[in-house]
């Protein structure tokens, strides 16, 4: 057995309370609406104390419903130790070895193009079958920490074997394998990022995304000008449609331009990773100074920046690598070897006992 300091507990506190407050607020709101719309002419309102008593009864009933609603939501927790992972859902407890966690799944949900939330799941191997365990209640940060803790303990379990030296040598061999499309110099990896090419692709994306909004804005403005010239009161639709068209166009324009400028600012041109640390352009991060590293998974197709963030004593250092493909896996405007960079960085962090966290949105 291992000490308590090696056991991490993740809880979904407050979910039941929030649900209960929602039930209470909704029930009391409905009761008040009914009181002042349907029942307002039913009772003799000269007796104001009667209404106060009814409102007090509504409040008490809504409070009871809220309490019952909060009890319906069972608090979940996950305990992770070198011995395995324990999932607690109410009175139900399930235990799995760390190797039973074979992956993760994050689904971003949209309704008519509007983001409505993400579903986060752990993939667990049980009786030869892979099943999903929902972790949506844990939130993005907690879920990322859960996965990072599992990866870290898996690595440490491997190093705890009796043939520690052999395992260490195997890990060194893993670190020294030559990656595709990258130089290898004495266990050092060098990544050359084609800045100009990536920026050109992202600028092309801006023009592509703004094509339809530009055409629509010009058509609306043209219609407004036409009505102004050909009708008596055409100045009114012109004064309404043109500013509206320009406003909507600016909304479409701001986001891609901001993202492009961000890419220009944070896109590095060279990354060198060796046993002593990580060098991004002229910025050197010694391994002892790095607290944690967070990355956007290469497998994510979310039309967002692929990035790496290095945390040290001075704070957060953010580096962007272009825009990931969209949900259909198309329009990739990012660094082509980002997946290889992320994979090597993961093993480097585990080898050097640096916290490695995936941004599992």
Residues 153 and 88 in one domain: yes
Is 180 within the bounds of a domain? no
Using left for φ > 0, alpha for ψ between -120 and 50, and beta otherwise, residue 331 falls in left
The domain that holds 135 is classified in CATH as: 2.30.29
Residue 11 belongs to domain spanning: 4-72
Is 139 within the bounds of a domain? yes
The domain that holds 282 is classified in CATH as: 2.30.29.30
Is 245 within the bounds of a domain? yes
Up-side HSE of residue 50: CA atoms within 13 Å toward CB?
A: 9
Question: pTM for the whole thing?
Answer: 0.60
Residues 51 and 33 in one domain: yes
Residues 239 and 279 in one domain: no
Is 127 within the bounds of a domain? yes
Residues 94 and 25 in one domain: no
Report which of 221, 222, 202 is spatially closest to residue 210, judged by C-alpha positions.
202
Give whole-number Cα distances, 237 to 24, 122, 196, 214, 224, in Å.
Answer: 46, 55, 45, 20, 6
Q: Which residues 6+ apart lie within 8 Å of 151 measured at CB?
A: 346, 350, 356
Residues 274 and 354 in one domain: yes
Number of domains present in the structure of the chain: 4
Residues 336 and 296 in one domain: yes
Domain final residue, candidates 249, 266, 283: 266
Is 169 within the bounds of a domain? no
Residues 33 and 60 in one domain: yes
Domain final residue, candidates 266, 288, 303: 266
Residues 94 and 140 in one domain: yes
Q: For each of the chain's 361 residues, which pLDDT tens digit applies?
A: 344 456 788 877 556 666 677 777 787 778 777 766 655 555 555 446 677 777 788 888 888 877 777 666 667 788 888 888 888 877 788 888 888 888 887 777 766 556 667 778 888 888 888 888 888 777 778 888 888 888 878 777 765 544 444 444 444 444 444 344 334 334 678 899 999 998 888 888 888 878 888 888 888 888 888 878 887 776 777 787 788 888 888 887 887 788 888 888 999 999 999 888 999 999 999 988 998 999 888 877 666 778 999 999 889 999 999 888 776 667 778 888 998 898 888 888 888 888 888 887 6
Q: CA geometry: angle at 295 spanning 331 and 310, to 5°? A: 130
Residues 23 and 39 in one domain: yes
Question: Could you give the CA distance from residue 297 to residue 209 in angstroms, rounded to a whole number?
Answer: 24
């Amino acid at each position: 057995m291992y000490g308590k300091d090696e056991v991490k507990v993740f809880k979904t506190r407050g979910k039941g309370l929030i649900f209960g407050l929602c039930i209470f607020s909704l029930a009391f709101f409905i009761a008040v609406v009914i009181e002042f719309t349907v029942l307002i002419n039913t009772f003799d309102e000269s007796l104001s104390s009667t209404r106060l008593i009814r409102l007090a009864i509504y409040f008490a009933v809504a409070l009871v419903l809220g309490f019952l609603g909060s009890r319906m939501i069972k608090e979940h927790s996950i305990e992770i130790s070198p011995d395995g992972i324990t999932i607690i859902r109410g009175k139900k407890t399930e235990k799995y070895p760390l190797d039973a966690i074979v992956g993760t799944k994050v689904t971003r949900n949209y309704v008519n193009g509007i983001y409505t939330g993400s579903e986060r799941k752990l993939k667990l191997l049980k009786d030869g079958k892979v099943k999903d365990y929902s972790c949506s209640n844990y939130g993005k940060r907690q879920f990322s920490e859960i996965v990072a803790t599992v990866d870290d303990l898996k690595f440490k379990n491997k190093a705890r074997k009796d043939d520690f030296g052999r395992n260490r040598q195997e890990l060194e061999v893993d670190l020294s394998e030559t990656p595709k499309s990258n130089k290898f110099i004495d266990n050092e990896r060098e990544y050359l990022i084609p800045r100009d090419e990536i920026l050109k692709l992202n600028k092309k994306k801006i023009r592509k995304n703004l094509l339809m909004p530009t055409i629509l804005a010009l058509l609306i403005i043209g219609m407004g000008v036409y009505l102004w010239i050909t009708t008596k009161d055409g100045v009114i639709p012109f004064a309404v449609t043109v500013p509206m068209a320009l406003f909507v166009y600016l909304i479409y324009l701001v986001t891609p331009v901001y993202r492009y400028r961000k890419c220009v600012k944070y896109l590095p041109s060279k990354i060198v990773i060796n046993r002593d640390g990580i060098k991004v352009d002229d910025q050197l991060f010694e391994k002892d100074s790095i607290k944690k590293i967070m990355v956007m998974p290469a497998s994510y197709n979310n039309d967002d920046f692929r990035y790496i963030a290095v945390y040290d004593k001075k704070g957060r250092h953010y580096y962007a690598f272009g825009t990931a493909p969209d949900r259909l896996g198309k329009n990739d405007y990012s660094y082509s070897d980002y997946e290889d960079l992320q994979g090597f960085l993961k093993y480097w962090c585990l080898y050097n006992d640096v916290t490695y966290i995936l941004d599992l949105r």
